[in-house]
Structures are given as C-alpha cells and as structure tokens.
Amino acid sequence: MNQRDTIFSKPLPSISDFCFDQNVVEVFPDMINRSVPGYSSILQTLPQLTQRFVQPDTRLYDLGCSLGSATLALRKGCEQAEGSEIIAVDNSQAMIERAQLHLQGFKSQVPVHLRCEDIRETAIENASVVVLNFTLQFVPREERMAIINTIFSGLVKGGALIIAEKVLADDDAINDVLVDLHHDFKRANGYSELEISQKRAAIENVMKIDSLAAHHQRFKEAGFAHSGTWFQCFNFAAMLAIKGDR
C-alpha cells in the first residue's frame, strides 16, 4: 500500500486515455495527494459538513468513491445520526475491491454498501448527503445535468450535494496562471516535466472540466435553493449545493 506514483515517469511510445485500472489503484493515494492541491483539506472538512447536513434514517452517497477516503469521512460525520447508511459507488472493479479492504480496516456502526456501478445508473433515494469528490469531471459533459437532476430528486429537504472538481477560470489569463501554479505544485511534489506532460495528455480526452459558473448554473437549473464555493486552491474547487424547504 501507499506506493509511489511512477506511472508516467518513463517515456511512453503512445499515451492511452487515463483509466482507473489496477496500476492506478496501487499508487492512487500518492497520486491524488501529489496531484490535487487541497485534496487533504477537502477530506478533513467533509466530516464537519456531513454532521451539519445528515438527517436521521437517511442515506449518504459517495459517487466515484475510489478507495473510500471520502466514504470514511462521511462515516465519521454521520456516526451520531440514528439509522444512517452509506452507499459508495465506483465503476472500477479494481477500485471497489481495494476499497473493500481499506474500509475493513476501520470500525464503525454505520453500514457501508460498496457497489461497482456506473454513477449514471445509480438511483438516489432518501439521501441527506451526496458526495461527488473529483468524479463528475470524468462523466461526459452532456450527461452531467441528468446526474445532478437525479441527485436533486433523491435528496430530502435540506439535504446537500458536496462536490469537488478541477475547474476552468473564465478569464484566459487567470486560467493560465492557475494551470502554471498547479504544475508548480506537481513539480514541488516530485513530478518531472515528462510525468506532468504525459499525464496531461492521458487525461485530456477523458476529463473535461467546467467553470465554477457552469457548475453553479447546473445546480440552479436542477432546483437547488442555494449553492456556493467553500474551498479553492488554484484550479481545484469544492462546492456545496443545498435543497431548500427544510
């Protein structure tokens, strides 16, 4: 466990589209910590946000759970709420198998149901909290609205969607600065120029990012009464959308 990410360290003859396969599973904690500015701050805040929005006898969903780091944060935040149940979903079999092992290492009264499933197929029911932590960016853009609509319909009144994404700045010059700051962050974390450029090419076709304005517009269109950005580090941001009429 906790192997160093060297996936893009050697020159590759051709760059395939990035996918969450067994090789990525092996290095995932190292990869995400060294690649996503603010990832640990976001995870640290999740229990607090969960505690605030969880309601008794409801479900909590972690969509695109990878190894279950956000699932554990959700579980920490809902320990005190009677009748909580967590559903964690990922469409990578390799991720789900490792998440199962990872979650077994921590004790809790709250049941967690892990599902290998496409989040586009996931039914959301009686949910007080739904987390999408760096997952929606991997869903084709034209299919994102349907997912947000499904989440909104499945949330109870006063329920919350907690979502983090890599984002695009509206202003091109500002965007260039944020991208450079992100690349400097990767360099400072030991990634080489080759690793940065090969990773960039690998995610280019599979990870299409939206602006914060586009995300908030989508939440509004789905019917959320409130939405805002509660954290941003360079071009990585965490947002909150709340269903009204609690």
Ligand X SMILES: O=C(O)C(=O)C[C@]1(C(=O)O)C=C[C@@H](O)C=C1
Ligand Y SMILES: C[S@@+](CC[C@H](N)C(=O)[O-])C[C@H]1O[C@@H](n2cnc3c(N)ncnc32)[C@H](O)[C@@H]1O
Q: Residues in the site for ligand X, rule: CB under 6 A?
A: 31-32, 35-36, 134, 166, 199, 203
DSSP for residue 113: E
Site string for ligand Y, 24-53 (x = CB under 6 A): --------x---------------------
Q: 136, 149, 72: which is closest to 107 by C-alpha?
A: 72
**133 touches, from ligand Y, ligand X, none (C-beta below 5 to 8 Å by class):** ligand Y
Q: Is 119 annotated as a binding residue?
A: yes
Q: Which of residues 169-228 bind ligand Y (CB under 6 A)?
A: none
Q: Rounded to whole angstroms, how far apart are CA atoms 242 and 245?
A: 10
Pick 139 or 148: Cβ nearer ligand Y:
139
Q: Is 78 annotated as a binding residue?
A: no
State in angstroms the smallest separation of the CB of 141 from ligand Y. Answer: 13
Q: Is 235 annotated as a binding residue?
A: no
Describe the strand order of the beta sheet including 112-116 as a list of residue ranges.
Answer: 112-116, 85-90, 59-63, 127-133, 155-166, 236-242, 226-233
What phi and psi, each to the nearest 5 degrees, are found at residue 19? -145, 160
Select from 66-74, 100-108, 213-221, 232-240 the region that touches ligand Y (CB under 6 A).
66-74
Return the residue matching tokens 């603010």.
38
Q: Rounded to whole angstroms, how far apart are CA atoms 30 and 2?
A: 6
Question: Count of CB atoms within 10 A of residue 127's CB?
Answer: 22
Contact 216/232 with Cβ under 8 angstroms?
no
State in angstroms the smallest separation of the CB of 168 from ligand X. Answer: 12
Q: Is 218 annotated as a binding residue?
A: no
**Binding interface with ligand Y (CB under 6 A):** 20, 32, 64-66, 69-70, 89-92, 95, 118-120, 133-135, 138-139
Binding residues: 39, 64-66, 90-91, 118-119, 133, 200
Annotated binding site for S-adenosyl-L-methionine: 39, 64-66, 90-91, 118-119, 133, 200
